[in-house]
Structure 1
Amino acid sequence: MPKKRGYHHGNLRQALVEAALALIEEKGPTGFTLSQAAKEAGVTPAAVYRHFEGREDLIAEAARQGYEIFADVMQYAYDTGQPSALQAFEATGRAYLAFARKYPGHYIAMFESGISTNRSPGLSAAARRARDVLEKAAEDLSQHIPPERRPPPSMFSAHIWAMSHGVVELYARGPGAQSPFPPEDLLESGIGIYLRGLGLIPPDA
């Protein structure tokens, strides 16, 4: 069972988000009620409705905060990977795995809850900021591809996002996630194959 959380006066909204994150990790995004979130936060169910219209609204806020953290993690990875465009790009892929492991409740709220990123302007903006970091990394790296062979940065980054997400879902989350290779190695080799196909790194000798 998740550890019960209290809250400081004036911070009930965040206490409820943290309670929801703990319940999401334990039960999944549809496995708990607002009453359970209220109990976890140490308040009455009626108090929840002063801050959230319903469970989806609460999960959406958890997702928004997750995207803000995710964008910061991706930006840090991109910045520290410089000055090489290739290193910066590869760093953003590794950051995806690191985020999923460190913030599982946020990750589930973001990608497995069914909540649309268009649910609120704040959620949409946070998700866009995270995507923009990977698109920037892809755009920088694709400058080394002749224009006639250069994929749009949004497509380039979407391919890597999908690959990273697949590795996380299949091999990096939960006790049942098993692979004959470390997830980091799977992602690195997959990105390597993709980049070789674009001519951005030389083929293996």
Structure 2
Amino acid sequence: MTPPVKRRPTGRHHGDLRNALLRAALELVAERGPHGFTLAEASRRAGVSVAAPYKHFADRETLLAELATRGYREQRDRFAVALGGSEDPVEQLAAFAAAYVRFAEQEPALFDITFHAGLDKPRFPELDAAGGEVSALLLPVARRAAPDGDDAFDLLLRVAAAAHGLAVFLRQGLFGMGGGALADTEQKAARTARAIARQDTA
């Protein structure tokens, strides 16, 4: 009787190569930022050949665009939950600002890819659409606080910019570390959003 042939392992098994590469890229972004890795490095991290990514992704930017799309959709879902806590548009904008900070702290790699990868949105229609979904969720709230269309967009932009700045400061350790720092920064973001929104509704 011929003994069974023992095959040498050739790396981790990947029934889902796409997700394995996306997970590897997220790990690398968390370590080095969105510009600090190559597709070859993502392949090695995932335990597959350097040619494997090209079955799913034309280049590194295509892989990052899929992760950025995921980032926008995660934000949309989180922000929708945050908005559901009140009917008052000022409080809804405050909740959005707090949720923005929380997303940046809890999903740092997705946050960095979504906002700092420098992706060309027109090249990636799904990414562009995902960003539009976030705007479509938030703009009606801003319009209820500032009925003029241009003013509403400006209000949303200022609230988001304030939340973004606070999120970056938190990530840089300017407000301390740990869960207490996150909670304090969420409160800062909410207070700032209220102040901005009330200025526009005064």
TM-score range, shorter chain: 0.7 to 0.9
What displacement does 1:40 show? 1.1
What one-letter code is carried by the residue in structure 2 that aligns with 1:124? D
Please state whether the residue corresponding to 2:57 is helix, strand or coil: coil
**Alignment-mate amino acid for residue 20 of structure 1:** A
Shift of 1:26: 0.3
Aligned to 1:157: 156
Shift of 1:159: 1.1
Write the distance in 2 (CA, Å) between the matches of 1:178 and 1:87: 26
One of 79, 90, 94 as aligned partner of 1:90? 94
- The answer to whether the Cα contact below 8 Å between 1:38 and 1:48 also exists between their aligned partners in 2 is yes
Cα distance in 1 between the residues matched to 2:72 and 2:127: 8
Q: 1:172 corresponds to which letter in structure 2?
A: L
Question: Which residue type is aligned with residue 158 of structure 1?
Answer: L
1:1-205 residue pairs with structure 2 within 5 A?
A: 6=12, 8-9=14-15, 11-79=16-84, 81-143=85-147, 152-169=151-168, 171-173=169-171, 176-179=172-175, 182-200=184-202
Higher helix share: 2
Alignment check: 8 A CA contact 1:60 1:119 kept: no
Asked whether the equivalents of residues 64 and 110 of structure 1 are also in contact (C-alpha less than 8 Å), the reply is yes
When Rg is computed on C-alpha atoms for both structures, the one with the higher figure is 2
Q: SS of the residue aligned with 1:106? A: helix
Cross-structure match for 1:203: none
Structure 2 counterpart of 1:115, one-letter code: L
Q: So what's the TM-score if we normalise by structure 2?
A: 0.83
1:138, distance to aligned residue in structure 2 (A) = 0.9
CA distances 1:151-186 after superposition (whole Å, capped 9, x unpaired): 5322211111111111111x221xx42138832233
TM superposition shift of 1:119: 2.6
Whichever residue aligns with residue 187 of structure 2, its letter is: D
Q: Which runs of 5+ in 2 are unaligned?
A: 1-10
Query: 1:6 Cα deviation (Å)?
Result: 4.8
Amino acid at match of 2:52: A
- Counterpart Cα distance in 1 of 2:101 and 2:58: 32
Higher relative contact order (CA 8 A, sep 6+): 2
Is the contact made by 2:72 and 2:130 (CA closer than 8 Å) also made in structure 1?
Answer: yes
Structure 1 distance, partners of 2:90, 2:154, is 17
> Kindly, what percent of the aligned residue pairs are identical?
31
1:129 Cα deviation (Å)?
0.5
CA distance in 2, matches of 1:48, 1:67: 23
Counterpart contact for 2:26–2:110, Cα < 8 Å? yes
Aligned residues: 186
User: Where has structure 1 moved over 6 Å in runs of 4 or more?
Assistant: none
